[in-house]
Amino acid sequence: MRRGVGNVGNARNVRNVGKGLALAAVLTGLLTGCAAPQGDADTAARTAGASAGASAGATAKAAARGGSVGASGSACELPVTFDVAEFWKAKAVDAEEASTATGDLAGLADALLRQGPVTMACEIDAKPAGKIGFLRVWTGEPGDADARTVLKGFVTAEKGASKAVYRTFSSGDVTGAEVEYVTTSELLEETKTEHALAVTTPRGPVVLHLGGMDTQEHEAMLPAYELAKSTLHVNAA
């Protein structure tokens, strides 16, 4: 299960033991799940996000636009560009810097920042919008694999993933593969729904993945995922 706090980018600061401990806390957060917000204001935001899940449901209309990522100079420079939902906050993830950690931290960073054929490059935090979860962007090296193959490799590498249903999607001049599946945590004894899509670009494959604290939060965040999918386009090489 890939859920957690949105400070993976702090891995860039891994230079000494103190900073290594900070990375450990961050990566452990990713491994164990989203930390629930504290305080009355955050509790209210959590409740609002859960309530929104019922209305988002299966239709999941696109969310209001708050900006975009992917272009040069944006929070995350990527092979693709897409719109980000209002209030969601994007942050680049430097997996190469995280890999400079030593010992157990290096293994933890590799396990959490690399999944199948792709590596985490950007995470977009829903917390400022009153929800708990992330839309994460994963990128890979150029190759011959098509979008569906890349996506299957991504899902297969997800521990506890099952019941995957794949389909083709098109958005403007972009065509790719999309999947809905569930993940089961043996530790927490719970199952939740997840969505992901993949496209290929001259700079390599890109996977967009939407998780969430649970299925209810996931459904509440689907409009942000739909916004990203409907505005997705490949950047010039």
pLDDT single digits (tens) 147-168: 999 999 999 999 899 999 999 9
Distance separating alpha carbons of residues 105 and 119, to the nearest angstrom: 17
Question: What residue has token string 């939060």?
Answer: 217
pLDDT over threshold 90, residue 107: no
Q: What pLDDT does residue 192 have? A: 94
- Residue pLDDT, tens place only, 7-33: 444 333 333 333 343 344 344 344 333
Confidence of residue 105 (pLDDT cuts 50, 70, 90): low
pLDDT over threshold 60, residue 203: yes
* Residue partners of 12: CB distance under 8 A and separation at least 6: 94, 97, 98
Q: How far from 199 is each of 90, 102, 152, 195, 217, CA to CA, in Å? A: 20, 33, 12, 14, 25
- For 8-234, give the CATH class: alpha beta
**Statement: the pTM of the whole predicted model exceeds 0.85:** no
- Which sequence spans correspond to the domains of the chain? 8-234
Residue 182 CB coordination number (10 Å) = 14
